Amino acid sequence: MTEHRALENIVVLDMTRVVAGPFCGAMLGDLGATVIKIEVPGRGDDARAYGPYINEESLYYSNLNRNKHGVTLNLKSEKGKELFLRLVKKADIVIENFRPGVMERLGLGYDELKKVNPQIIYGEISGFGSYGPYRDRPGYDIIAQAMGGLMSVTGQAGNPPTRVGSAIGDILGGLNLSIGVLAAINERNITGEGQKVDISLVDCVVASLEQAVQRYIVSEEVPKRIGNSYQSIAPYDTYQAADGYVVIGCGNQKMYEKLCNEILKKPELTEDERFLTIPLRVKNQAQMKEYIEAWTSKQSVNEIVETLLGKGIPSSPIFDLKDIINDEHISRAREMIVHSHHPVMGDIILNGNPVKMTASKTDIRKASPTLGEDNSEVYGGFLGLSDKEIKELYRDGVI
């Protein structure tokens, strides 16, 4: 079977910056799309200024812009707009994460683009979305985590609201935008027309809150920070082991009974009226935890995990980055840590793509571009401009 990828037929113009939009472009690229990243001449994506660095190139940028062809383009110049519209004619998807209204003010909003290409799918991502009272507010991941409610429910009890330690609002935004544009591709196959997909980081975070929304309405109590426990399942928490913390989760009655009978050797707990059902165990989880820690605190994390997995009870250690990068399963078997090579940085490692497909490859084929690296290939090869024309574009500051 020849090697192929799921989105080989798709051309994406990626005008995004920082994390959320670039993550979407990288996802589509990993899945095989031809992604052309468009940056401001001389400056580029803000994320080129974010560490960590190697040889003065941003590895931060590199992870989010692998599998992209990089061009520069000044969209404020008439010639730049014209070139952009020529690219739009040959593309399937445009993604951008300017503040709402920026593309319209450039004369390059979706309504203009669909005039030159009615099939174009336009994906935009912003802090608050393209409509609604807050549409003009600037948005970053930390703002989405804050206003989307995630910080209010993350953290140890009594602690301040806590930011998730990665740009999870941006990641959620990039994933939801990927879903939106792929759904629009499906619909385009039926209607023959593109459309606009409008993603707000805050919306994405709110959607990720799952049961916290329902809990507030039912209980009329605002969900608070409760450490590592969960308001819908117990036992389901971290527990003190002799050498650290261990995770144990019993999501159904069978697992819970096995834990009591075969591990804690306390069959009476399965008939204890404080713990009869999942909601009762959630309510009385502090007492439940005492029984469990009486057992876990005397053993190492590894011993506990091995014992519990042997009985089919979900359990795990807590990994840090070193553990992950050296892990046989995560890093190697699942290829979630990918060794790559960058022309300026040399050997680097990137995060793997979690979408594994049996017939299509999801892989990293190209390092992130240096600023304007692929100008000749894209403007020459893809758009068919002559060397002379490309030289003039450089001279005039268009690219």
260-319 residues near a second copy, rule: CB under 8 A: 277-279, 282, 309, 312-319
The nearer residue to a second copy, 219 or 297, going by C-beta atoms, is 219
User: Residue 399 Cβ, how far from a second copy at the closest point, in Å?
Assistant: 22
Is residue 238 part of the contact set for a second copy (CB under 8 A)?
yes
Which of 79, 86, 163, 266 lies at the binding interface for a second copy (CB under 8 A)?
163
Is residue 23 part of the contact set for a second copy (CB under 8 A)?
yes
Which of 14, 39, 57, 237 lies at the binding interface for a second copy (CB under 8 A)?
237
Q: What separation in angstroms does the CA of 159 have from each of 168, 239, 241, 285, 292? A: 20, 19, 23, 20, 24
* End-to-end Cα, the chain, rounded Å: 40
Is residue 195 part of the contact set for a second copy (CB under 8 A)?
yes
Active site annotation includes 396: no
Contact call for residues 301 and 246 (beta carbons, < 8 A): yes
Q: Which of 30, 92, 141, 170 is catalytic?
A: 170
Q: What separation in angstroms does the CA of 55 have from each of 39, 64, 348? A: 21, 18, 12
Q: What separation in angstroms does the CA of 386 have from each of 10, 226, 353, 378, 390? A: 25, 63, 37, 11, 6
Contact call for residues 17 and 97 (beta carbons, < 8 A): yes
- Angle CA(357)–CA(141)–CA(135) in degrees, nearest 5? 105
Query: What is the Cβ-side half-sphere exposure of residue 198, based on CA atoms within 13 angstroms?
Result: 12
Spatial separation of the C-alpha atoms in residues 266 and 162, rounded to whole Å? 37
Is residue 50 part of the contact set for a second copy (CB under 8 A)?
yes
Which of 85, 104, 106, 245 lies at the binding interface for a second copy (CB under 8 A)?
245
Contact map string, positions 84 to 103, toward a second copy, x by CB under 8 A: --------------------
Contact call for residues 9 and 31 (beta carbons, < 8 A): no
User: Residue 106 Cβ, how far from a second copy at the closest point, in Å?
Assistant: 18
Contact call for residues 83 and 383 (beta carbons, < 8 A): yes
- Window contacting a second copy (CB under 8 A); options: 65-73, 158-166, 265-273, 386-394: 158-166
User: Residue 177 Cβ, how far from a second copy at the closest point, in Å?
Assistant: 8
Which of 89, 156, 274, 310 lies at the binding interface for a second copy (CB under 8 A)?
156
User: Residue 396 Cβ, how far from a second copy at the closest point, in Å?
Assistant: 25
Other CB atoms within 10 A of residue 104 CB: 14
- Angle CA(53)–CA(58)–CA(63) in degrees, nearest 5? 115
- Window contacting a second copy (CB under 8 A); options: 229-237, 266-274, 367-375, 383-391: 229-237
Which of 108, 120, 202, 304 lies at the binding interface for a second copy (CB under 8 A)?
202
The nearer residue to a second copy, 270 or 376, going by C-beta atoms, is 270
- Window contacting a second copy (CB under 8 A); options: 71-79, 245-253, 266-274, 377-385: 245-253
- Which SS3 state, helix, strand or coil, does residue 73 take? coil
Is residue 128 part of the contact set for a second copy (CB under 8 A)?
yes
The nearer residue to a second copy, 74 or 353, going by C-beta atoms, is 353
Number of residues lying near a second copy (CB under 8 A): 159
Contact call for residues 155 and 228 (beta carbons, < 8 A): no
Which residues are catalytic, by number?
170
